[in-house]
Structure 1
């Protein structure tokens, strides 16, 4: 649907009742369809052959939903499916498909209508002898390396040995993969083994840690903060990012997992073997250009506050908890391509994203560069150069980027087609919290010269988003256009009014994973909260009555509302699953502006 010159998502696409389950289709982002089970249909007597009595607990409900999602997933491979408990996200190529078409197809799957295209496809698969069943997988775990046994024994009815025996005897279903890259949620934990999460989460949980969080068990594939009880570690690699496609995790959603207890000695032996056989990541990139390429090397003299290599991000990986990544300000990235006259080249080498304070870089080879994004002072060997222009840098010269004057992230692009470095699941964007350049590091591109058309520094760029307009500035209080999220309808009316009429300020904990907002207003000369926290208590009581919020699909631009009433607007490194209400979505054509917010900046929202 279009409003003026903007494309507006339609939100809810419709509902479908199948037996005791009510399904809803929702256009979550421009390229993601959300299909979820909603509780409204559970208490209705529709004369189904399946009674509500069969859904005696959450586990059985989840299993019924998962069964449907696995059927959907195996019948269509031109969509990246992200199942999670009671929902599934479908990421698609919007040049080939739209939300309504995919929702109509999913409805055919859920109905299972005889003679439908979906049913015929299922019969074809069954007749072909293709084994579409899920797998049973046994994984080794060293319970001796658990960090929280004292706490567990204090709250459990079992001794440590009894607890381990009970846990290792279980058979668990992979219910979801996400939240963190490679983080696996397992369903089926015995009620007697449930342990409350840690009151104070750890800042670092070792990779391979198996944990218990309330009624779930699962594992951390990478070192990260976490609040689950540590019961042991697995010695095998649980996340392999050194490939552009395929599964980077040892399990898929729907698989069954058992744990085999091993000793510390066996753990160390298996870990040693796994390290020796670790695959080498893809390096470099292919170039289709027929022009002669040369090396462009840059030495990092000072990395600045946070400078990283970024590209256009990943086209897949959400199914394994791997964020899309890539440049935060897509407009600035596209402007770099225009400035460097390489729009027609299939591969554009990655760029430098410089946050708040830029780096000092010594060029070891001649290069043609351009600067876009945040406004910051830039000098080549002490001479000022312009943002939004093509800049010739000669071997031996030093580029110095200062502190931002407006905005948050500046970008430096090079006339190049390839970068010499390691890919992380098809992208040079690293995992959240990683990838910062280091002093002394030497970066290498493969590139070619681009002659400026006007003088050494070229003309100012005419922005692609408005004829005759120059590069954007970042002053004032922007009013960002948002669209309703899946849980917006459950927000009390008064809260909706306050959300749309109030100013928000960007919090100090904001980063590429998400922008944390605090809502303020003015009373005289003082800025105070406008009662949002009190209203949130009312909202939380209302929300509890709706049932638990199961983790579901999220994406960059999704605005979540956690219990502290401070909205979180997810960024390019944001999680792929979340358990907070998704009250709104910031469209892609607005996300570039959010990428330029710094702590203390003000903003407002307007709903379309």
Structure 2
């Protein structure tokens, strides 16, 4: 949603023509610098889009733009200190994303206030020296921007043969040029802690890999196009690998509200120092950097006490019998007396723990994450939440109590198998996975299964219906099947705070991490007495069985049937698409790709006119590249393939593909329930 094209009365001598303010999402204001003709590269024949966010801007323009945005941030915080806790700033090259709370301030009012501050910034010429502007972005304002030196072992680079072929330089000459440069952090994002560094010697520019690697080690320093930078996490990537650093580049224990989880922030200067493999090993040992610190998949989102001995788990779980003897040991004391606990017997296709996600972290590349289907999540919390004794409904007395019952289990397409390690009250929402509970009891010294699969037994299998509170006992097995409709299902537990780690304010993993593992233990603290208003029915398996016999099995509402049409808002780069093809993009029917996940939904156009499709692909080759800029869940990007990608809750925070549209938050629950092969259409709000 365009808010204003603000043209300066007198353009700056370095090429700034004005700014464009855009409502990117409900809670993110995008401000982009607009370049005038004097700022174009000499001899450029291609028109630069109105926003000025084309790749065709020079280094001086990018530096001055970044200086403007850093000064805008600092000046705003000096005059409005309350914004420090309610507004987050994410500058990137020639634009800046500003996350705010729309409940506190409408986006139009936010832009009006920022515009007044920017007038003062430009009047005083605070952007004229990038170093001066960068220094104002740090606290206190008199402290200069830091110069961060990163040791790099270039011998650990993976692409030197390719690099030498493309650059025409020897390895030693390339290393000397790369390590003697001074760079500035122009953006943070794509992945958590990923630093984009501007100022690369043009002779060192390298095209990205033809086929991105499926895994690049954490700490890899690389070059992609005209930028250099590093991977703070192990992840897929398409940049040329120059080497590795032994330093940890993303602090998993840092709190975003108080600390920068990255050693740098936008505006800082960076230098590289070449080291050999012996120095690399010595530094790594000195800093005690092991796989646990470098690789988040080994440390992120694992269950509380996941290393607990497996035999003790199995031997400590009581059968669901009133005659069962007392349980002893650490697990029994924790899981029964202090915790509501479950053991993961089978993890399912992609099962994880989720909450509402992060409200901060965009500036450091931390995804919002959280549940994909917010409607199902809220329905689950409403069912199990109740009212804590001594509190008024809807109010919380502390941050700790506000986290009560906020963590749920989210599963995708094929659910897990869980063993209950304690009594629990649960509810299921979202897609229907036909979850059944199996209970083993002891009678006359002989075990008998009372709930069995009706395919293999005459005894009926009891399915736990959606939106029904059910009390399960220690030893019960919760066996999730495949989703009948939709993609994601949820289980909430009537309990207190989740007894596990949080990462920058959220239980959610980073960069697609956090899936359950076999043997993992997940725990919630007991919540104490819960008060509810009115009459509440909590089923156990016996009453559920009787209810089924009286009423029969009820069919769930088919929430996910048909071909949905998502009502979108126009994105900042929508006008890059010519009118000739705009209807082709929005009028086509798309199919959800099998490679879709929580990071993004890939849409494949169902081609009915081959000639039209060829013309469309030819048009795509003429689109200019753009400097990376802020993106959020629900943004629809247009990659060179022409097949749109709708970003999900784990999607990156900045991206370099045109943002052609945005799916508003009130429709994103439906995105979460799309399955591979589903068909969708796009339209406008």
User: TM-score category by the smaller chain?
Assistant: 0.7 to 0.9
Cα–Cα, structure 1 residues 194 and 295, in superposed 2: closer, same or farther, change >3 Å?
A: same
- The equivalent of 2:63 in structure 1 is 63
* Residue 520 (structure 2) aligned to one of 441, 450, 455: 441
Query: Aligned residue for 1:537?
Result: 618
Quickly say closer, same or farther: Cα 1:193–1:41, change in 2 above 3 A: closer
**2:406 corresponds to 1:349:** yes
1:398 Cα deviation (Å)?
Answer: 1.1
Contact 1:243 1:282 in 2 (8 A): no
* More displaced stretch, 381-390 vs 556-565: 381-390
Aligned CA distance change for structure 1 residues 150 and 428 (closer, same or farther; 3 Å): same
Matched length: 560
The Cα of 1:432 is off from its aligned counterpart by: 2.2
Asked if 1:489 is matched to 2:485, the reply is no
Query: Which residue pairs with 2:152 in the alignment?
Result: 141
Correspondence 1:453 to 2:536: yes
Choose from 268, 286, 296 the match for 1:273. 286
Question: Shift of the alpha carbon at 1:530?
Answer: 7.7
Q: Are the structure 2 counterparts of residues 187 and 129 from structure 1 closer, same or farther at C-alpha, using a change threshold of 3 Å?
A: closer
1:500 equivalent in structure 2? 586
The 8 Å contact of residues 571 and 660 in structure 2, kept in 1 or not, is answered as: yes
8 A contact 1:309–1:435 mirrored in 2: yes
Give the structure 1 partner of residue 271 of structure 2: 258
Mapped partners of 1:42, 1:472: distance in 2 = 58
Change (3 A) 1:134 1:283: farther
User: Are 2:261 and 1:184 equivalent residues in the alignment?
Assistant: no
Name the counterpart of 1:204.
215
Moved more, 375-384 or 503-512: 375-384
Whether contact under 8 Å (2:381, 2:406) holds in the other structure is no
CA distance in 1, matches of 2:659, 2:57: 25
Q: Within 5 Å, give how 1:211-222 maps onto structure 2.
A: 211-222=222-233
Equivalent residue for 1:418, pick from 492, 497, 500:
497
Deviation at 1:109, TM superposition (A): 2.8
Q: 1:24 aligns with which of 6, 9, 20?
A: 20
The 10-residue stretch of structure 1 (447-456 or 25-34) with the greater mean CA deviation from structure 2: 447-456
Counterpart in 1 of 2:6? 15
Per-residue deviation, 1:601: 0.4
* Partner secondary structure for residue 112 of structure 1: helix
In the TM superposition, what whole-angstrom CA distance separates every residue of 1:297-318 from its partner, at most 9, and x where no partner exists?
Answer: 1011111111011111011111
Distance in 1 between the 2:140 and 2:417 partners? 60
Which residue, out of 551, 573, 585, partners 2:628? 551
**TM alignment of 1:16-415, pairs within 5 A:** 16-17=7-8, 18-19=11-12, 20-21=15-16, 22-39=18-35, 42=38, 58-75=58-75, 76=77, 77=84, 78-112=86-120, 130-245=141-256, 246-275=259-288, 294-342=338-386, 344=394, 346-347=402-403, 348-381=405-438, 382=451, 383-415=462-494
Deviations 1:549-602 (A, max 9, x none): 111110000001111110000000001111111010000000000000011101
Deviation at residue 366 of structure 1 after TM alignment: 0.6
Alignment TM-score, normalising by the size of structure 1: 0.86
Say if 2:71 and 2:121, in contact at 8 Å, map to a contact too.
no
What is the Cα deviation at residue 493 of structure 1? 1.4
Identify the structure with the greater strand proportion: 1
Aligned-pair CA distance for 1:93: 1.3
After TM superposition, the score normalised by the length of structure 2 is 0.77
| Alignment CA distance shift 1:530-1:554 (3 Å) | farther
Q: CA deviation at 1:240?
A: 1.1
4+ residue segments displaced more than 4 Å? 40-44, 113-116, 276-285, 449-452
SS class of match (2:186):
strand
**Contact 2:303–2:520 (CA under 8 A) maintained in structure 1:** no
Over 3 Å counting, the alpha-carbon distance change for 1:133 and 1:108 in structure 2 is farther
Look up the match of 2:597.
511
Secondary structure of 1:591's aligned partner: helix
Once the two structures are TM-superposed, the CA of residue 425 in structure 1 deviates from its matched residue by 1.5
| Partners of 2:470 and 2:538 within 8 A in 1 | no
* Cα separation, partners in 2 of 1:42 and 1:398, compared to 1, 3 Å: farther
The alignment partner of 1:594 has SS state of: helix
Question: In the alignment, which residue of structure 1 is the partner of 2:447?
Answer: none
- Provide the C-alpha distance between the structure 2 equivalents of 1:115 and 1:155, rounded to a whole number of angstroms: 45
CA contact (8 A) 1:519 1:529 kept: no
* Aligned mates of 1:477, 1:242 — CA distance in 2: 43
Matched-pair contact (CA < 8 Å) for 2:620–2:642? no
Gaps of 5+ in 1: 1-9, 45-51, 286-291, 460-469, 523-527
| Structure 2 unmatched runs, 5+ | 41-51, 78-83, 128-132, 305-335, 387-392, 397-401, 439-450, 452-461, 545-555
Q: What is the distance in 2 between the residues matched to 1:151 and 1:198?
A: 9
